[in-house]
Amino acid sequence: MSDVSDLPKGLKLTPFDPSFQQNPYAVLRTLRERAPVLQDDQFGRWFVTQFEDARQILRDKDVSVDPRKANPNSYARMLLANRPQNGSAAVSSMLFMDDPEHRRLRGLINKAFTAKAVEGLRPRVRAIAQELLAQIHTEEFDLIAAFAAPLPVIVIAEMLGIDPADRSSFKGWSDVGVATFYNPFRTA
């Protein structure tokens, strides 16, 4: 086993580290090459960077995605520390639920994401993509800012019936919600 003492851990493996935020791919490539399975003892979490290993874990029904079931000192539990409580348990997104709860909620929304339903969205998604590309008037541009970030926001906003005039507010609220949830160091 190779020496991994110089590999990043803790905050250096989060968007709170400027280097990681700027280029997480270089950091993750180093992990994949030198320590495909790395224990981050600072936050009580594991990094698995090879596809087959990750797929095996994701298919394992004994592995939970619910942060409420995580070890008490883990990064996942830190994320819940300042989260609003509803009764005695933290309110959870279906993204962080295990079966059978996840399966039940997924069943409620499945019709919106059938192959036929998604195919029906194709013309509108294509039109939105063309509108965004038509707004680019320079040879050099930020692909994320000009295209990749607004495209899903517009599609989701339209699916939810958000008025186009409210899209920037919708995006702002979404960004705050994500940033707040994923920041274990936030204050009240």
The whole-number average pLDDT for the span 52-74 is 86
Write out pLDDT tens, residues 88-108: 445 567 888 888 999 999 998
pLDDT score of 87 more than 50: no
**List of residues 6+ apart from 36 with CB closer than 8 A:** 48, 49, 50, 53
Tell me the C-alpha to C-alpha distance, in Å, between residue 65 and each of 57, 77, 87: 11, 12, 21
Q: What is the predicted pLDDT for the residue at 88?
A: 41
Query: Higher-confidence residue: 5 or 81?
Result: 5
Write out pLDDT tens, residues 101-149: 999 999 988 888 899 988 999 999 999 999 999 999 999 999 999 999 9
Buried b (16+ CB within 10 A) or exposed e, 17-28: eeebeeeeeebe
Instruction: Quote the CA–CA distance of 90 and 140 in Å, as a whole number.
Output: 45
Supply φ then ψ for residue 6, to 5 degrees: -95, 0
Q: What is the predicted pLDDT for the residue at 81?
A: 67
Q: What is the predicted pLDDT for the residue at 187?
A: 66
